[in-house]
Amino acid sequence: MLSIRLSLVLLISALLAGGVLAQERRVPSSAAELRLSYAPIVQRVQPAVVNVYAAKVVQNHNPLLDDPIFRRFFGVPGQQPEQMQRSLGSGVMVDPSGLVVTNNHVIEGADQVKVSLSDKREFEAEIVLKDSRSDLAVLRLKDVREKFPTLDFANSDELQVGDVVLAIGNPFGVGQTVTHGIISALARTQVGITDYQFFIQTDAAINPGNSGGALVDMTGKLAGINTAIFSRSGGSQGIGFAIPANMVRVVVASARSGGKAVKRPWLGARLQAVTPEIAETLGLKRPSGALVSNVVPGSPAARAGLKVSDLIVGVEGQAIDDPNAFDYRFATRPLGGTAEIEVQRGGRALKLAVPLEMAPDGGRDEIVLTTRSPFQGAKVANISPAVADELHLDSDTEGVVVTDIADDSTAASVGFQKGDIIVGVNNQKIAKTGDLEKVTRGSSRLWRIQMVRGGQQINVTLGG
């Protein structure tokens, strides 16, 4: 018996040494195998990928020029010098009439936007829609009378880790470039780039300038919009992130319908992540799902029967690992009808039908404050359900919220941020935008401001 075992070992060793069990290597058997290439896909999709150039005028601020004695002594004019600041990115043609989707950060604050096609022609473009929540923007080419090549949307929910993809864009401004790789991961939710953190991760080389460009699957369809890289050097290190095509589709649909804002369904509930401690308390095998911490009365969630402490584990058959995954799945559902949400409540599995409706936005009364005050240049709004959903605030929050701040404005230099809630100024309660506008019309040597940032109340005093 021992001799038989020894013979088997020697036989296996000989086979391995001879390469019988090793991977087969062979010479290509035909000219066709030598010519395997991505070129047919690239030739088909490349005309629909464009370069996006954005420019804005900024003032070079020299603090010495603020001093009238300095200006008088040295004869320096009071007008601050201006400089043209430019940014470069990529985009994708998604409608033959000249509709282009790109990243919002590519064109943010731009005074002028140009689009260059793959055939080197340039067109002026107008910004149709900006959506900071998804970091997407839609442009329209001006004064065009032709049909342009476009990319069709893939169903990004059908992508799998290991699928081959191509990234097309304009890295470092060198010109249109194609790189290839695979999908390294799906549903990346801890990236911290946008409100909807649900990204495709790829190892296709993506560099500065690729932002807004196309991530294409092997059928030549748009799988995603390249938006960010993880890098310690500023160059590609094999970790790039793309916004899934299903999110892009929602933003483009809103632009096509003529909207200035993206139309998304509103849940009307606050969700929190499940920690290991919470999972242990709930008797879960692992910390996953989205835990309901608050439900707005009268909201779609309330009407569907969702309750505090419910654990959401699925949307339309798609598993939910955390609140970011839920936000993406729910936000990409079409308006109208209902969405089936799978819930665990007290150990029981339930299915709830949540109406797919937009958040009410009545009474927003958004204004830009222009009078001389610490708030000059800030855009503020009343906290409607839509505003609360957009900025992740409780719907019963009181005060006026900052929704935007102009670059180089007084409000920006003072340090106000988007999402700050102003509740009082100079001992006067601020309940609506009209209250804040009225207060800022009066001159004051000192401004005593009560505000809330990130759930923390802050009291500051500023000079007039």
Please check the confidence at residue 249 and state whether its pLDDT lies above 60.
yes
Residue predicted with more confidence, 231 or 47:
47
Of 87, 90, 105, 435, the active-site residue reads 105
Grade residue 274 by pLDDT with cuts at 50, 70 and 90. very high
Grade residue 357 by pLDDT with cuts at 50, 70 and 90. very high
Grade residue 234 by pLDDT with cuts at 50, 70 and 90. low
Q: Average model confidence (pLDDT) for the chain?
A: 83
CA distances 387 to 360, 366, 406, Å, are 9, 10, 19
Instruction: Note the pLDDT of residue 10.
Output: 44
Known catalytic residue: 87?
no
Query: 242 and 225 in contact (C-beta within 8 Å)?
Result: yes
- Chain segment 425-442, per-residue pLDDT in tens: 988 999 999 999 998 888
- Chain segment 254-266, per-residue pLDDT in tens: 999 887 788 889 9
Of 211, 254, 384, 409, the active-site residue reads 211
Please check the confidence at residue 388 and state whether its pLDDT lies above 80.
yes
Average pLDDT over residues 347-351: 91
Query: 111 and 82 in contact (C-beta within 8 Å)?
Result: no
C-alpha 323/C-alpha 329 separation (Å) is 10
Determine what percent of the chain is predicted with pLDDT higher than 70.
Answer: 83
Grade residue 9 by pLDDT with cuts at 50, 70 and 90. very low
Please check the confidence at residue 19 and state whether its pLDDT lies above 50.
no
Average pLDDT over residues 321-344: 91
Please check the confidence at residue 28 and state whether its pLDDT lies above 80.
no
Q: Please, where are the H alpha helices in 160-294?
A: 245-256, 276-282
- Chain segment 59-89, per-residue pLDDT in tens: 555 554 555 554 544 555 545 555 555 768 8
Please check the confidence at residue 15 and state whether its pLDDT lies above 50.
no
Known catalytic residue: 135?
yes
Instruction: Note the pLDDT of residue 361.
Output: 82
- Chain segment 294-305, per-residue pLDDT in tens: 898 999 999 999
Q: Copy the structure tokens of residue 168.
A: 């097309």
Least confident of 58-72, 308-322, 364-378: 58-72
| Amino acid at site 11 | L
Instruction: Note the pLDDT of residue 409.
Output: 87
Average pLDDT over residues 174-179: 84
- Of 194, 429, 440, 455, nearest to 331 by C-alpha is 194
Known catalytic residue: 384?
no
Least confident of 30-34, 160-164, 438-442: 30-34
DSSP letters for 152-199: PBP-GGG--TT-EEEEEE-GGGS--EEEEEEEEEEEE----SSSS--E
Least confident of 151-165, 219-233, 311-325, 339-353: 219-233
Please check the confidence at residue 56 and state whether its pLDDT lies above 80.
no
Average pLDDT over residues 221-236: 76
C-alpha 407/C-alpha 151 separation (Å) is 35
Instruction: Note the pLDDT of residue 1.
Output: 46
Grade residue 196 by pLDDT with cuts at 50, 70 and 90. low
Please check the confidence at residue 133 and state whether its pLDDT lies above 90.
no
Average pLDDT over residues 277-286: 88
Average pLDDT over residues 334-352: 92
In 3-state terms, what secondary structure has residue 67? coil
Instruction: Note the pLDDT of residue 24.
Output: 64
Please check the confidence at residue 14 and state whether its pLDDT lies above 60.
no
Instruction: Note the pLDDT of residue 232.
Output: 60
Of 131, 135, 310, 327, the active-site residue reads 135
